[in-house]
Chain A
Amino acid sequence: MVNTERGCTRTARVGGDRMTESTGFNHLLKKLGYETVEGFGEERKILILLSLAAILFVTASIAVVLGTYGITAADVYRTIFVHLTFGDVGSIPRLHNTIIWDIRVPRIILAVSVGGALAIAGAVFQGVFRNPLVEPYILGVSSGAAFGAALGIVFPAIFFSIQVSAFAFGALAVTLAYVLARSRGETPIITLILAGVIIGSIFSAFVSLLKYMADDTALREIVFWLMGGFYYTTWDDVRLLVPVVILSFIILWALGWKLNVLSMGDDEARALGVSPEKYKFIVIALATGITAFAVSLVGIIAWVGLMMPHASRMLLGPDNRFVIPASLMMGGCYLIVCDTLARTLTTAEIPVGILTSILGAPYLCYLLRSKGRVIFG
Chain B
Amino acid sequence: MLHVQDMHFRYGDFPVLSGVSFSVGKGELCGLFGPNGSGKTTLFKCCLRFLRAEQGIVRMHGEDTSQCSIERLARLVAYVPQEHKPPFPYLVREVVLMGRTPHLGGFFGVRRRDREIAMDALATLEISDLADRPYSQLSGGQRQMVLMARAIAQDTPVLFLDEPTSALDFQNQMRIWEIMRDIAGEGKTILACSHDPNHVAWFCDRVVVVGEGVVVAEGHPEDAISEVVLEEIYQNICSVRTLDGVQMVMPRCVVERNKKLKGDCPSHDVPLARAWSGAETGS
Contact = CB atoms under 8 A, between A and B. Distances in A.
A318 B99 CA distance: 17
Contact of A40 (B93, B98, B134, B136): B93
A318 B89 contact: yes
A261 B86 contact: no
Contact of B86 (A130, A275, A317): A130
A228 to B, nearest CB: 29
A264 B98 contact: yes
A39 B131 contact: yes
A375 B107 contact: no
B116 interface: yes
Nearest to A317: B91
Contacts of A257: 101, 104, 108-110
Interface string B136-154: 1000000000000000001
A13 to B, nearest CB: 35
Contacts of B89: 317-318, 374-375, 377
A263 B88 contact: yes
A213 to B, nearest CB: 42
A164 interface: no
B87 interface: yes
B189 to A, nearest CB: 16
A130 B89 CA distance: 12
Contacts of A168: none
Contacts, number: 98
Contacts of A39: 93, 131-132
Contacts of B45: 267
B86 A38 contact: no
Contacts of A258: 101
B87 A263 contact: yes
B42 to A, nearest CB: 13
A38 B115 contact: yes
B74 A318 contact: no
Interface string A257-281: 1101101111110111111000000
Nearest to B106: A254
Nearest to A264: B86
Interface string B91-121: 1011100110110100111101001100100
A68 interface: no
B74 A271 contact: yes
A51 B48 CA distance: 44
Nearest to A376: B87
Interface of A: 35, 38-40, 127, 130-132, 254, 256-258, 260-261, 263-268, 270-275, 313, 317-319, 321, 374-375, 377
29 contacts: A39-B131, A127-B88, A132-B88, A254-B107, A256-B108, A257-B101, A257-B104, A260-B94, A261-B98, A264-B86, A265-B84, A267-B45, A270-B49, A270-B50, A271-B74, A271-B77, A272-B99, A272-B154, A273-B74, A273-B101, A317-B91, A318-B89, A318-B94, A319-B90, A319-B94, A374-B134, A377-B86, A377-B89, A377-B136
Interface of B: 45, 48-50, 70-75, 77-79, 81, 84-91, 93-95, 98-99, 101-102, 104, 107-110, 112, 115-116, 119, 131-132, 134, 136, 154
Interchain residue pairs A-B with the least CB separation, the first 7? A273-B74, A273-B102, A318-B88, A271-B79, A272-B101, A273-B71, A275-B70
